[in-house]
């Protein structure tokens, strides 16, 4: 039974844990806000129910204790202090570890005794969770909701003169055979009425997969007090709360009808009937299936190109019309498939506030993280890769960018530093910005370090722009131990960060102003599978250059070339641009052409440009990016291949490698 629900359990557990994380951060800032406590309580409550249902006892045990403490906060018997929130966060860490263990095939067991003891210590000295009032039937916690069928049965029962009761039965803490007590309660209720529903359901109650209390909905013609007294006669029953019902909360059936939001209900005023909750219009699809769909669609794109070419050659009006229509439809299909693979960057961003809270505590700094544009969407394959490098850049900003509160106040800044994490779309790209108002980067220190590591000569040092100097931070030579004091550690491991983003077709640049702060800007492609390229010809080979790297194309006269440092360059719009001859790079067969003019593709990476010299420009195309497979992993200057309309294979040029 468990295996079919496991995927749903894992997905939903991760969502609830993230919700608890987010709301705990909010609660720390607004400890009096009841709605936040309610949200955390609901997530913990659902998580407990799901864990118990699936048989993960440590998970259920820990969430149950968290729930008890949250209930005290909710009922104003405890305050949400930083200490309590710290323990809650540690509990969430343990819960995450258990869920991750289950996800990787483990049994989800973990020794949670220490945390449970701490949570119980917070509870000690409290009044019972159900207040005295409840014992006199004035209020009772109701957590029952009904589907369409159950509601109809209950409403018809009322019309036929029956009473409907919700009965909450609390077992004694020392009860040995819980299932036996449940059986006896059901037996008593069956003698004087009929049980319509129980929470948890009968099967879970039989398997003792519940804590000490359960809820039963009964129709009967007997008075409520008589029902209560009959149940209390059973041994090991600590208490019974009973409530007459005339209205019923209704919800559409979903897989997660384990336990629902708690409603407080008074005797005089029954539950307000709720509008039917709209069923969710979403389904969960395994990412592997989307990959298969994408691969099939890529084959379709290749055949589309082939058909376009054939129809162009045959010049048959009907064929041309059909192919054009097919192109339009596959264009729309492409858009839908790519959109299906898109996910908001929020899935990566939402783990950062918690990390920053922990880090700023460790470093005794005050840091406010501001997140903008978390709804911006990126391809799932890119989302999976960017988490770790972003963590690295954020740690850098806090560790080495933001100063201590004392240092900040001394230079007239507010004691709390701000880190802005911002994502936005622009054209065919997504930009992610990490901006801090910290100490900034010292150009002199970076240059001194680069000279020491032989990354540049002294002459080059004078000619480099600021952004070129800060770009040196990404060179592998900067990852040294003394770096930490030298340039406040900004360069530690940044080469790894850059390599990750570049492998995704992205670019990282840095801007900084001393004492004002620094900005790391990351540019990423929207998707990795279908890209726009410029097709060019060199010798007898065709190559594809991604449009995202191209500034423009040009045809220049041979006389405009001159040499500098033993390399051919041209003066292009007032800038010296080095030339790279593709036929030399890829050693293609030379074709004798009119050599008076060169066809150029000007490419750019960050602030570096180069001109690729090709034999001829063919034009712009949509192509499917295919990897070269496991054997050809490190081919210089090539990032993949594609199949063209005529069945020919064209290699895709990696402009980043050629500019280096």
* Catalytic residue ranges: 45, 67, 396
Consecutive H or E run containing 551: strand 550-557
Report the first-to-last Cα separation within the chain, whole angstroms. 56
Residue 4 CB coordination number (10 Å): 7
CB 577 within 8 A of CB 570: yes
Per-residue burial over 421-452, b if 16 or more Cβ lie within 10 Å, else e, is bbbeeeeebbbbbbbbbbbbbbbeebbebbee
Would you mind telling me the total number of residues written for the chain in this entry?
660
Look up residue 17 and give its two tokens.
Answer: 């844990």
Look up residue 630 and give its two tokens.
Answer: 């496991």
Whole-Å CA distances, 260 to 70, 256, 271: 16, 9, 14
Which of these, 343, 258, 331, 276, lies nearest to 43 by C-alpha position? 258
Q: Is 92 helix (H, G, I), strand (E, B) or coil?
A: helix
Say how far apart CA 445 and CA 488 lie, in whole Å.
10
The DSSP 8-state label assigned to residue 250 in this structure reads B
Say how far apart CA 212 and CA 174 lie, in whole Å.
10
**HEC secondary structure over 247-285:** CCCECCCCCCCCCCCCEEEECCCCCCCCCCCCCCCCCCC
The DSSP 8-state label assigned to residue 399 in this structure reads I
The DSSP 8-state label assigned to residue 626 in this structure reads B
């Amino acid at each position: 039974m468990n295996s079919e629900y496991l995927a749903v359990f894992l997905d939903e557990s991760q969502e609830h844990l993230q919700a608890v994380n987010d709301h705990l951060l909010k609660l720390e800032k607004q400890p009096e806000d009841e709605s936040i406590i309610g949200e955390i309580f609901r997530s913990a409550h659902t998580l407990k129910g799901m864990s118990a249902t699936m048989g993960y006892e440590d998970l259920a045990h820990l969430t149950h204790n968290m729930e008890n403490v949250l209930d005290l906060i909710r009922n104003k018997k405890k305050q949400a202090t930083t200490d309590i929130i710290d323990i809650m966060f540690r509990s969430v860490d343990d819960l995450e570890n258990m869920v991750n263990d289950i996800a990787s095939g483990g049994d989800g067991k973990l020794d949670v005794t220490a945390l449970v003891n701490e949570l119980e210590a917070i509870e000690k000295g409290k009044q019972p969770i159900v207040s005295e009032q409840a014992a006199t039937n004035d209020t009772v916690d109701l957590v029952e909701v009904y589907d369409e069928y159950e509601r109809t049965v209950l409403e018809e029962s009322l019309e036929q003169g029956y009473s409907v009761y919700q009965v909450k039965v609390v077992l004694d803490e020392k009860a040995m055979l819980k299932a036996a007590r449940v059986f006896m309660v059901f037996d008593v209720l069956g003698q004087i009425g009929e049980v319509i529903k129980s929470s948890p359901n009968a099967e879970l109650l039989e398997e003792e997969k519940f804590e000490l209390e359960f809820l039963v909905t009964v129709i009967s013609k007997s008075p409520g007090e008589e029902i209560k007294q009959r149940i209390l006669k059973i041994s090991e029953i600590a208490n019974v709360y009973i409530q007459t019902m005339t209205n019923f909360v209704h919800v559409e059936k979903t897989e997660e009808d384990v336990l629902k939001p708690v409603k407080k209900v008074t005797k005089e005023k029954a539950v307000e009937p709720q509008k039917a909750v709209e069923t969710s219009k979403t389904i969960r699809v395994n990412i592997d299936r989307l990959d298969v769909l994408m691969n099939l669609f890529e084959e379709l794109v290749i055949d589309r190109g082939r058909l376009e070419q054939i129809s162009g050659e045959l010049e048959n009006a009907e064929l041309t019309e059909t192919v054009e229509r097919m192109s339009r439809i596959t264009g729309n299909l492409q858009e839908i498939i790519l959109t299906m693979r898109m996910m908001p960057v929020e899935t990566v961003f939402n783990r950062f506030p918690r990390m920053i809270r922990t880090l700023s505590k460790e470093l005794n700094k005050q840091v406010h993280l501001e997140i903008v544009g978390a709804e911006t969407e990126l391809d799932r394959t890119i989302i999976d890769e960017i988490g770790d490098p972003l963590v690295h850049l954020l740690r850098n900003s806090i560790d080495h960018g933001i100063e201590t509160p004392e240092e900040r106040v001394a230079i007239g800044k507010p004691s709390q530093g701000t880190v802005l994490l911002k994502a936005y779309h622009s054209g065919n790209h997504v930009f992610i910005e990490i901006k801090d108002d910290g100490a900034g980067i010292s150009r002199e220190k970076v240059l001194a370090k680069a000279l020491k590591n032989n990354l540049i000569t002294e002459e080059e040092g004078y000619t480099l722009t600021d952004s070129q100097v800060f770009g040196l931070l990404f060179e592998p030579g900067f990852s040294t131990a003394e770096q930490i004091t030298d340039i406040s550690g900004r360069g530690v491991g940044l080469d790894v960060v850059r390599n990750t983003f570049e492998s995704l077709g992205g670019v990282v640049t840095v801007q900084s102003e001393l004492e004002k702060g620094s900005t790391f800007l990351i540019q990423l492609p929207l998707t990795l599978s279908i890209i726009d390229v410029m097709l060019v010809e060199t010798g007898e080979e065709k190559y594809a250059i991604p449009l995202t790297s191209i500034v423009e194309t040009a045809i220049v006269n041979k006389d405009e070339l001159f040499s500098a440092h033993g390399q051919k360059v041209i003066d292009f719009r007032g800038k010296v641009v080095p030339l790279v001859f593709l036929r030399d790079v890829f050693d293609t067969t030379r074709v004798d052409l009119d050599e008076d003019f060169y066809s150029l593709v000007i490419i750019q990476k960050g602030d570096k440009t180069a001109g690729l010299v090709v034999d001829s420009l063919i034009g712009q195309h949509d192509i499917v990016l295919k990897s070269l497979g496991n054997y050809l992993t490190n081919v210089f200057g090539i990032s993949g291949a594609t199949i063209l309309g005529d069945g020919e294979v064209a290699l895709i040029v990696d402009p980043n490698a050629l500019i280096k």
